[in-house]
C-alpha cells in the first residue's frame, strides 16, 4: 500500500510586476528546469512520464523542508500487529505560472501487510478514513532557511510549509522589501491536504458512510471519502488487485491527473478571489496572457489530439470531472467573469476590436468544449 498527501499552492508572484523578489532559479517555465530550491532540495526529472502536463516532468526534492520526527503506524483493534507507515518521498511541483503542490509519499511494505492479511483467519478490513486521520494527526517539523523550526500536526502544516517555501524562493533583498507574512495570503496561498491511498493486492476495505464511487459500476476500484473528523471529502482511494509497486497505467494516469487538476483548480479558484487586488499590481497585458493561458490549459485536456485516443487519459479525465463536476463548472463560470473584467478594452483597443479575440474565440469554445467532453465522455 502507498499513500500520497498533496498540498496545493497558488503562487501569483510570476504574474505580478517585480514578482515580489521571487528568485528566477530554478526557472520552472523552462523546458527542462535545473538547479535547486534553497533549503528544500535539488530539481530532478521525474522517473515516469508527466503525461505531457505542464509542470509534471520535474520536481524539487524537499527532504530538508519537512521532517517526520515520530514513528507512524496504523492498526485496527483485531490485528495481530500494526502497519508501519514509512516516509517515501517529499517533492515540490510547480508549473512556472501559478499552480503547484507539495507532495509527500508514504509506503507500507507488503511484508508487514502479509503479517496481518496473510493468515488463515480473516482480518478486519482497512478503514481509509481512519488511516487518513492517523496520518494527518502525526507531527511534522517544518524547517525554514531562516533557521526557524515549527512542529505541528500534519493536517495543519500547509501554511507553515508555504511560508518556508516563500522564504526559500525569495531573494535576500526581496525579503527586506516584501516580508513573507505579507506575501502569504495576498500573492501566495496554500490549500488543505488531499490524501490518495492505493490499497494493493486485493486487501479488504471497509465501507465508509460518506463513500462516493467514481467508477461506472460502483465497484470499489476508485472512490472519494473523507478522513474521520474532516468536514470535506479529502481522501481518494484506489483499490487494486496488483502489488504495491505494480501500479497499472490506468491507475497511475488517474492518480497524476487528480493531483495535477486539483492543484490547478485550487490556484484558479484563488485567482478569482484575489484577481481584482492583483490587477492593481500588474501590467494589464500580463493578466490577459495569464487568463488566456489558464483557459488554453483547460481546453487542451480534451481536444482532438493524440491524447483523446488514449483510453487511460480520457478515462482519468472523466473520473476527475465526475468527482469535481460542480467545482469545475463553477470555476469555468468564474474564469469567464474574470476574462470579461480583465479584457475590457481601452479606447484604443475598442477601436481595434481587441475584445472579441479572447472572450468569443477562447472561452465560449475551448472551455465549454473541454468540460462538456470531460463530463459526457469522449473517445
Rounded to 5°, the CA angle 107-198-61 comes to 50
Q: Which residue has the higher pLDDT, 107 or 281?
A: 107
Give Cα 51 to chain centroid, integer Å.
Answer: 15
* Arithmetic mean of pLDDT over the chain: 79
What is the reported pLDDT for 139? 98
Give Cα 186 to chain centroid, integer Å.
Answer: 20
- DSSP letters, 154-180, are GGG-HHHHHHHHHHHTB-HHHHHHS-H
Which residue, 71, 77, 84, 72, is CA-closest to 114?
A: 84
In which band, very low, low, confident or very high, does the pLDDT at 290 lie, cut at 50, 70 and 90? low
Lowest mean pLDDT among 24-38, 176-190, 211-225, 262-276: 211-225
In which band, very low, low, confident or very high, does the pLDDT at 312 lie, cut at 50, 70 and 90? confident
| 76 touches 66 (CB < 8 A) | no
Q: How large is the average pLDDT for residues 86-97?
A: 94
Percent of the chain with pLDDT over 90: 38
Residue 170 has pLDDT above 90, yes or no: yes
Residue 360 has pLDDT above 90, yes or no: no
Q: Coil, helix or strand for 239?
A: strand
Q: How large is the average pLDDT for residues 84-97?
A: 94
What is the reported pLDDT for 44? 92
Q: Which residue's entry shows cell 501487510? A: 113
pLDDT in tens, 109-143: 999 899 999 887 888 999 999 999 999 999 999 99
In which band, very low, low, confident or very high, does the pLDDT at 356 lie, cut at 50, 70 and 90? very low
User: From CA 189, how far away is CA 183, in angstroms rounded?
Assistant: 9
| 36 touches 43 (CB < 8 A) | yes
Lowest mean pLDDT among 267-276, 299-308, 360-369: 360-369
Residue 304 has pLDDT above 50, yes or no: no
Q: Which residue has the higher pLDDT, 233 or 321?
A: 233
What is the reported pLDDT for 307? 47
Most confident option among 58-67, 195-204, 327-336: 58-67
Residue 55 has pLDDT above 70, yes or no: yes
What is the Cα gyration radius of the chain?
A: 22
What is the reported pLDDT for 97? 82
Q: How large is the average pLDDT for residues 286-305?
A: 55
Q: How large is the average pLDDT for residues 194-202?
A: 91
What is the reported pLDDT for 171? 93
The domain locations on the chain are: 2-247, 283-376
Lowest mean pLDDT among 62-71, 100-109, 353-362: 353-362
What is the reported pLDDT for 349? 43
Residue 287 has pLDDT above 70, yes or no: no
What is the reported pLDDT for 93? 96
Amino acid at each position: 500500500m502507498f499513500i500520497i498527501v498533496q498540498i496545493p499552492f497558488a503562487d501569483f508572484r510570476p504574474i505580478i510586476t517585480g514578482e515580489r523578489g521571487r528568485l528566477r532559479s530554478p526557472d520552472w517555465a523552462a523546458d527542462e528546469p535545473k538547479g535547486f530550491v534553497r533549503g528544500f532540495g535539488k530539481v530532478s526529472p521525474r522517473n515516469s512520464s508527466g503525461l505531457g502536463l505542464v509542470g509534471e516532468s520535474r520536481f524539487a526534492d524537499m527532504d530538508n523542508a519537512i521532517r517526520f520526527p515520530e514513528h507512524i503506524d496504523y492498526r485496527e483493534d483485531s490485528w495481530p500487529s500494526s502497519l508501519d507507515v514509512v516516509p517515501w518521498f517529499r517533492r515540490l511541483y510547480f508549473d512556472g505560472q501559478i499552480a503547484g503542490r507539495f507532495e509527500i509519499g508514504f509506503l507500507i511494505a507488503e511484508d508487514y501487510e502479509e503479517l496481518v492479511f496473510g493468515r488463515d483467519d480473516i482480518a478486519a478490513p482497512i478503514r481509509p478514513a481512519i488511516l487518513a486521520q492517523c496520518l494527518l494527526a502525526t507531527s511534522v517539523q517544518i524547517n525554514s532557511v531562516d533557521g526557524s523550526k515549527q512542529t505541528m500536526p500534519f493536517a495543519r502544516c500547509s501554511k507553515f510549509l508555504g511560508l518556508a517555501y516563500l522564504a526559500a524562493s525569495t531573494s535576500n533583498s526581496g525579503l527586506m522589501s516584501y516580508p513573507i507574512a505579507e506575501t502569504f495570503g495576498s500573492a501566495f496561498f496554500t490549500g488543505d491536504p488531499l490524501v490518495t491511498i492505493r490499497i494493493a493486492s486485493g486487501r479488504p476495505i471497509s465501507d465508509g458512510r460518506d463513500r462516493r464511487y467514481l467508477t461506472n459500476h460502483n465497484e470499489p476500484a476508485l472512490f472519494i471519502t473523507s478522513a474521520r473528523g474532516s468536514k470535506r471529502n479529502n481522501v481518494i482511494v484506489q483499490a487494486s488487485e496488483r502489488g504495491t509497486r505494480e501500479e497499472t497505467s490506468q491507475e497511475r494516469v488517474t492518480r497524476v491527473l487528480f493531483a495535477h487538476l486539483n492543484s490547478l483548480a485550487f490556484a484558479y479558484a484563488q485567482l478569482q478571489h484575489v484577481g481584482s487586488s492583483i490587477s492593481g499590481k500588474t501590467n494589464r497585458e500580463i493578466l490577459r496572457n495569464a487568463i488566456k493561458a489558464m483557459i488554453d490549459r483547460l481546453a487542451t485536456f480534451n481536444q482532438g489530439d493524440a491524447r483523446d485516443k488514449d483510453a487511460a487519459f480520457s478515462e482519468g479525465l472523466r473520473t476527475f470531472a465526475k468527482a469535481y463536476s460542480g467545482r469545475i463548472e463553477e470555476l469555468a463560470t468564474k474564469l469567464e467573469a474574470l476574462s470579461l473584467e480583465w479584457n475590457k478594452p481601452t479606447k484604443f483597443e475598442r477601436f481595434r476590436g481587441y475584445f472579441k479575440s479572447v472572450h468569443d474565440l477562447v472561452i465560449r469554445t475551448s472551455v465549454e468544449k473541454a468540460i462538456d467532453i470531460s463530463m459526457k465522455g469522449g473517445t
